[in-house]
Amino acid sequence: MRRVLILGGTAEARALAAELTGEGTHVVSSLAGRVRNPRLPVGEVREGGFGGPDGLAAWLATERIDAVVDATHPFAARMTASAAEASARTGVPLLLLRRPGWRESPGDAWQRVSSLEEAADRLAEGAAGRVFLTTGRRSLPVFTGLSGMWLLARSVDPPDAPVPAHVHVLLDRGPYTVEGERSLIHEHRLDVLVTKDSGGEMTSAKLVAARELGLPVIMVDRPAPPPGILLVDTVTAAAAWAQG
Ligand code: NAP
């Protein structure tokens, strides 16, 4: 039976595992193991890092993997680079499944930036006092030093370190609704939204709410994929490729 490794942690990875399982493919889904209570895909699941490209290359050989689909989050750049290197070394074919990024619509006021640090710089330059921060708990230290600002930081799991008094952590996990996002913006009197360009529908409601309410958005661009990597943007295309 064909054996496919899905590097996961996304809704697309779960959908792909469901689509491939039962179609004559043995799927192993891999999770980083950092979320406390992850949504699990169907089929076999392994958790934790491989130990860099060397570890992944060894693992692919031991597990007799025929193909790898990297369906990690668009900002999981280290895992993607590691998969590209392990694939080049072992000859195990690799596909990158990456959902499309978000596109600006009329009425949006987005500023695109290339890093979290640049997003923090833009905040520091602006007049905004109350910030809706959705860039993930691990990015929090980049923003907590900004003076004169209050942050609503929404994340799936709590931040590791204690947060200062001017940061309010909201633990939640998508999908979100436009109505819910609108209420949140009103309730906390938010002036600006900071987000990564994750793409997808699970978390896009905040962008619609921001547009409707005239809220500016600081959008952190995705890291570029490794050069030469084969890339698709739908689960259907990835499933067709993975079936060989
Ligand atoms: P990352 O910075 O690219 O990865 C750091 C290290 O974590 C990797 O080198 C690898 O360790 C391990 N790792 C990452 N993804 C893995 C996976 N699917 N299976 C096994 N090991 C994995 O990744 P990240 O941004 O921390 O993301 C971690 C996980 O969360 C991914 O599964 C991703 O899809 C998911 N996620 C990330 C975001 C985000 O904003 N970054 C958002 C939603 C979900 P080794 O080098 O030891 O192999």
Residue of 31, 65, 72 to mutate, ligand 1, most atoms within 8 A of C-beta: 72
**Which tokens hold the place of 3?**
């054996």
Looking at every residue in the chain, the average pLDDT score rounds to 96
| Span 217-229, pLDDT tens digits | 999 999 999 999 9
Find the Cα–Cα–Cα–Cα dihedral 184, 33, 29, 62, rounded to 10°.
Answer: 160
pTM over 0.85: yes
Mean pLDDT, residues 119-128: 90
CA of 12 to the centre of ligand 1 (A): 15
HSE of 106, CA atoms in CB hemisphere, 13 A: 0
One-letter amino acid at 61 equals: A
Residue 23 has pLDDT above 80, yes or no: no
**What distance lies between CA 233 and its chain's CA centroid?**
14
Ligand 1 contact via 220 beta carbon (within 6 Å): no
Q: Which residue matches tokens 């987000």?
A: 195
Fold of 3-100+223-242: Rossmann fold (3.40.50)
**What distance lies between CA 198 and its chain's CA centroid?**
5
Fold of 110-220: Rossmann fold (3.40.50)
Cα distances from 218 to residues 14, 70, 110, 134, in angstroms, run 29, 27, 6, 11
Question: What is the per-residue pLDDT for 162?
Answer: 87
Ligand 1 contact via 59 beta carbon (within 6 Å): no
Ligand 1 contact via 136 beta carbon (within 6 Å): yes
From-to residues of CATH 3.40.50.720 in the chain: 3-100+223-242, 110-220
Nearest to 110 by CA among 166, 192, 209: 192
| Span 155-181, pLDDT tens digits | 999 999 889 999 999 999 999 999 999
Q: How far apart are CA 123 and CA 90, in angstroms?
A: 44
Question: Which H or E run contains 120?
Answer: helix 116-125
Under a CB-based contact definition with an 8 Å cutoff, are residues 99 and 222 in contact? no
